[in-house]
Amino acid sequence: MNERDSWNAFITRVEPTEARPGPLAGRTLGVKDLFDTAGVRTTYGSRLYADHVPRRNALAVERLLSAGAVLVGKTHLPEFAWSVLGQNPWYGTAHNPTHPGKTTGGSSSGSGAALAAGLCELALGSDTGGSIRLPSAACGTVGLKPQWGRLPLDGVYPLVPLLDTAGPMARSVADVAAMWSVLAQEPVPEPRLTGVTVGLLRRPPGIGDGRETEQSDASERWVADLERLGARVVEAQVPEPSANTWPQFQHEALRSHAATFPGRADEYTEVMRIKLEAARRATPRA
């Protein structure tokens, strides 16, 4: 591959192969290194899996390749995708091509960076608590967190299975829609806003631990455009959870690492050890 990865967007580069025919034929694809890829190193952003080479593709990867996308690399992520930043002690920091010196966001950090740098046309990410949306916003690209359970997670290392999603990332809404169609095995959604009701959310809900979330009116800037395209924009609010949801998150994350933690705790970074030790102390009443 000729393009120089000055942004550390990839953990592993792959020489492109001939594209299969299909709706994504010849489109270059970066895959978050949380998804298994047959015959290609898949680290999950961890030292524990630095030499791990799966035998099979994750189902989402297989669908994209079968539709003609061409794999060009496994993209950067923080260790086991548990961070909102693009930093990884084992594989370095992903850098933001759109806003140099600022974070790429995480955990689909390399997918956002690779798209913004023009190193691939399409990218596959995952989102548990913002991991597609944050890099897309930070790098000026497009990403979609679909409905839970909408896209396959077979062959993806879990963080919190209750909340994990796979999702398409690209540089345009049209490309994201084309990827979603392939991943969901449904027709490309009709591009229309006429008659659609859009909620204007000024404050995201909390996680039930008593901390207030920050209010922002930044989304106001898109209201006029949405209404001009036929949408009806209304004030919206997501109800606060009735209980603290953080212990559930911790419980599921700990289960995801049962095979290697605490047995191989010394092979995790200090930050991950602290998170998982805290998870071991969590109780249903926490």
Q: Tens place of pLDDT for every residue, the chain, 286 residues?
A: 557 899 999 999 999 999 999 999 999 999 999 999 999 999 999 999 999 999 999 999 999 999 999 999 999 999 999 999 999 999 999 999 999 999 999 999 999 999 999 999 999 999 999 999 999 999 999 999 999 999 999 999 999 999 999 999 999 999 999 999 999 999 999 889 999 999 999 998 898 888 889 999 999 999 999 999 999 999 999 999 999 999 999 999 999 999 999 999 999 999 999 999 999 999 876 5
pTM over 0.85: yes
Answer yes or no: do 46 and 154 share one domain.
yes
Residue 5 within a domain: no
Give the separation between CA 95 and CA 171, rounded to whole angstroms. 17
Q: Cα 202 to chain center, whole Å?
A: 23
Residue 213 within a domain: yes
Using an 8 Å Cβ cutoff, are 16 and 27 in contact? no
Answer yes or no: do 213 and 176 share one domain.
no
Answer yes or no: do 228 and 131 share one domain.
no
Residue 284: per-residue pLDDT: 73
Enumerate the active-site residues.
32, 107, 131
Residue 285: per-residue pLDDT: 66
Answer yes or no: do 142 and 228 share one domain.
no
Residue 154 token pair: 């077979």
Count of domains observed in the chain: 3
Residue 192 within a domain: no
Element (H, E) at 177: helix 173-184
Range of the domain at 71: 10-184
Residue 161 token pair: 């299975």
**Beta strands 122-127; 28-32: pairing state:** parallel
